[in-house]
Amino acid sequence: MSRSLAGGFATAVDAAHLDAFPLVEMQLTSGTLYLSGTSFDVDWDGHTWQAALGLGTIEPVIETDTEQPGLSFTLSAVPSSAIALGLTEDVQGLTVIVRLAAVVAGALQVDTNCWQGLLDVMTIDDGADTAVVRVTAENQLIAWEEPAGLRMN
């Protein structure tokens, strides 16, 4: 299986210097959350991706060497007033998409096929004024390891 990059993003990758940042889309039941790994909001694909640089991190989660790696998303400095959503939202099994973006010659170029998976477990560490929200996600390829639901007799 081959994977190709969009023309503009392929050009960006070939450049001598590349400033890339993630665009994270979490398709929650209460509405889709759009986050950008920049210090400013980004408008792309008809949505405003909220700045999360310095507040958000993405880390790999590898449980065994035979599994597809998952990701752990952390959002720090979340106002306590916004925690109610996290306490009521059931995120397990919801889609998360990670895209890689770069600005080339003043234009935003996006790799739309970077990583896709399903949200798994959310934890909230609530502080006095702010909280830290962590959610893990499994790679969509984990579905290949699940047994088929067909049974014949």
- The model's pLDDT over 43-91, given as tens digits with 9 standing for 90+, comes to 999 999 999 887 888 998 876 666 667 999 998 888 776 777 778 889 9
Q: What's the sign of the alpha-carbon dihedral 142, 144, 147, 148?
A: positive
What tokens does 109 get? 């170029």
Confidence (pLDDT) at 2: 42
The reported pLDDT for the residue numbered 143 is 59
Contact, 23 vs 99, CB < 8 A? yes
User: What six digits make up the tokens of 112?
Assistant: 């739309």
Is the model more confident about 83 or about 37?
A: 37
70-79 β-sheet, strand order: 42-44, 47-51, 31-36, 20-28, 95-104, 107-126, 130-139, 70-79, 56-61
pLDDT of residue 87: 80
118 pLDDT exceeds 90? Answer: yes
